[in-house]
A and B are shown apart, each in its own frame.
Chain A
Amino acid sequence: MDKTVNQKAWFMLIPVLVLVGFSAVIPLMTVVNYSVQDTFGQNVFFWAGTAWFEQILHSPRFWSALGRNLIFSGLILAIEVPLGIFVALNMPKRGIGVPFCLVFMALPLLVPWNVVGTIWQIFGRSDIGLLGWAVDAIGIDYNYVSDPVDAWITLIVMDVWHWTSLVVLLCYAALVSIPDAFYQAARIDGASRWSVFRYIQLPKIQHVLLIAVLLRFMDSFMIYTEPFVVTGGGPGNSTTVLSIDLVKMALGQFDLGPAAAMSLIYFLIILALSWVFYTVMTNHEARQ
């Protein structure tokens, strides 16, 4: 659509700018402020320069938490995106099954995040949980509290349970907007199931997949509540991701300087990675 140039449109942004300014810019300034100062209590601050940043960037604790974050995001994207597409492709397009599917699939998305954690914390326990009990019953020694691998598996299955529906619903929305004539033409052209997916369905869902991947990447990279409830970052530090480490540092130990510096680095990483994702995928689209 052709848009008219109108500088007065800025006035319409005022409410949003005031609100976001209040809830984003001021807190961010506080963070920046802390990140370059040191304190010995009683509200006395000293200029610390880039010391905190150097400390964070040189700490193995930060790098291992970042590594865990990246592995976690990578794994859940690798599972949720194909699984979500697969489920969406097999969903009914009309009939009474549709609202039924949609309502049930959307339900996990509206469960408060700590309740998600609680549900899986209970579900995975071998003494009182169905999953833990069933896995133990078939002879696999499973305990997410003491075994790091089991803890990771639990977190990933939980995230798949929690968020795959977002991918499903986004893809489904795009798929139902494809006119029947496309499928009919493909049948007449003798296209295989794979060709139908590759040449009709995939081009159509590409755009929403971009949204889905971006949202899932950002949110999985910021994940805090669910692992906090289920594993509390343990066993050991095996599931301590950046958010958990950060909250531990800021609200637990009140190491304001390092926490602030880490916040900024963390935020910048998310911004940079999201921006890379975004440009790569939009460029890919533009080239077509």
Chain B
Amino acid sequence: MARIDLDHIRHTYTASPKSEADYALKEVDHSWHDGGAYALLGPSGCGKTTLLNIISGLVTASEGRILFDGKDVTRLSPQERNIAQVFQFPVIYDTMTVFDNLAFPLRNRTMPEADVKRRVDEILAMIDLGDRAHRKARGLTADQKQKISLGRGLVRSDVAAILFDEPLTVIDPHMKWMLRTQLKQLHRQFGHTMVYVTHDQTEALTFADTVVVMYDGEIVQIGTPEELFARPKHTFVGYFIGSPGMNVVPVTLDGGTAHVDGEAIALPAPPRERPQAKTELGVRPEFVRLTRDGMPFSIDTVEDLGRHRIVRGHLGAHAIAAVVPENETIPAEPRVTFDPAGINLYADSWRMELEG
């Protein structure tokens, strides 16, 4: 239970970094409030595990400070920080029983045996392994082992935060859903600060109140799932979140109008500043309308997903996807328009604010 402040953290694995590119984690300066459920979302190699390990203390950041509830813990070990962490692949102590595995973190902290037993029994019930408590952990299946790992993360009730590093990778889809729901429930019940690393947007969006999207060693956006969907701050967020991802087409700007391949698109408002750099227009497939009037559009494929259809086609040379609800018909000679509510403008991949 702690508020976590990341004070100008940077990290590099090279001894003498020469440029920004040498940093596995570019500057992070942010504060995570007590009891929040956060997800760190991003493709592999984006630095999310590095950030997690810096929080837990397995890695000491090259620059900057970490504070738990205002106390500087930068130089402290994971144990002193009182952190729990669950790893991607099951880490269990083979020669111990399931019970001893769960009791291990408690006994290491010299908790009285009666309390250990009570606490472990609770966790055993939660992860549904009560009937195997006194069997050796060695013979269990991968997802049972991972449940033990999860259980060891949850068994200490006084931790500053619980960190999850893609904990459900080895678990089959049905079980994934169940465990995720359980984690969510636990979070509501006990209010631990939880940080959950994943590359799966569904996992991130369903688990967390706040999603932190990382790309190339940098935090590109922090926001609620709604914010990430409606106003992606970076084209990467647009691509990465949503299925299919946001359409991004290069445009030239002329006041309140954007031009793409000679076609004019009216913007909801002109941008506040005139960008010098590469300008792009992003619009989610949910805001693309197939109509009888608008810009010329050629359809390549139509995927019927039941509730809606995904239409993939081209606007000039640019691939565009559109989501069409099941009850709407697709015109015979379709043209395309963008709903102004869903239009975002990007300069050098970063979102531009519009006037008004």
Contact = CB atoms under 8 A, between A and B. Distances in A.
A and B touch in the complex (CB under 8 A): yes
Interface of A: 179, 181-182, 184-185, 187-192, 195, 199-200, 203, 288
B93 A199 contact: yes
Interface in B17-69: 53, 56, 58
Given A181-B89, A181-B91, A192-B108, A187 B79 contact: yes
A188 B78 contact: yes
Interface residues of B, dominant DSSP: mixed
16 contacts: A179-B89, A181-B89, A181-B91, A184-B53, A184-B87, A185-B87, A187-B58, A187-B77, A188-B58, A188-B83, A189-B108, A190-B109, A192-B108, A199-B93, A199-B94, A203-B95
A73 to B, nearest CB: 28
Contact of A188 (B84, B93, B94): B84
Interface in B76-129: 77-79, 83-85, 87-89, 91, 93-96, 104-105, 108-109
Contact of B88 (A181, A190, A191, A200): A181
Contact residues on B (Cβ < 8 Å of other chain), bracket: 20 to 34
Contact of A181 (B77, B83, B87, B152): B87
B75 interface: no
B176 interface: no
A179 B84 CA distance: 19
Contacts of B94: 199, 203, 288
Contacts, number: 56
A190 B108 contact: yes
Q: Which 4 A-B pairs have the closest CB atoms?
A: A190-B108, A185-B91, A189-B105, A199-B93
Contacts of B108: 189-192, 195
A200 B95 CA distance: 9
Contacts of A199: 93-96, 104
A94 to B, nearest CB: 12
B155 to A, nearest CB: 9
Contacts of A195: 104, 108
B95 A288 contact: yes
Nearest to A196: B93
A130 B104 CA distance: 51
A199 to B, nearest CB: 4
A184 B95 contact: no
B85 A188 contact: yes
A123 to B, nearest CB: 41
Nearest to B79: A190
Contacts of A190: 79, 105, 108-109
B85 A184 contact: yes
B3 interface: no
A94 B289 CA distance: 57
A192 B136 CA distance: 21
A184 B56 CA distance: 10
Nearest to A187: B78
A124 to B, nearest CB: 43
Contact of A182 (B78, B85, B91, B152): B91
A189 B87 contact: no
A199 B101 CA distance: 10
Nearest to B105: A189
Nearest to A195: B108
B138 interface: yes
Contacts of A182: 91
A203 B136 CA distance: 13
Contact of B93 (A181, A184, A192, A200): A200
A185 B85 contact: yes
A196 to B, nearest CB: 10
A191 B101 CA distance: 12
Contacts of B77: 187
A183 to B, nearest CB: 9
Given A181-B89, A192-B108, 19 more contacts: A179-B89, A181-B87, A182-B91, A184-B78, A184-B85, A185-B85, A185-B87, A185-B91, A185-B152, A188-B56, A188-B85, A188-B105, A189-B108, A190-B105, A191-B108, A195-B108, A199-B96, A199-B104, A203-B94
Contact of B138 (A179, A181, A187, A288): A288
Nearest to B95: A203
Given A179-B89, A199-B95, A184 B58 contact: yes
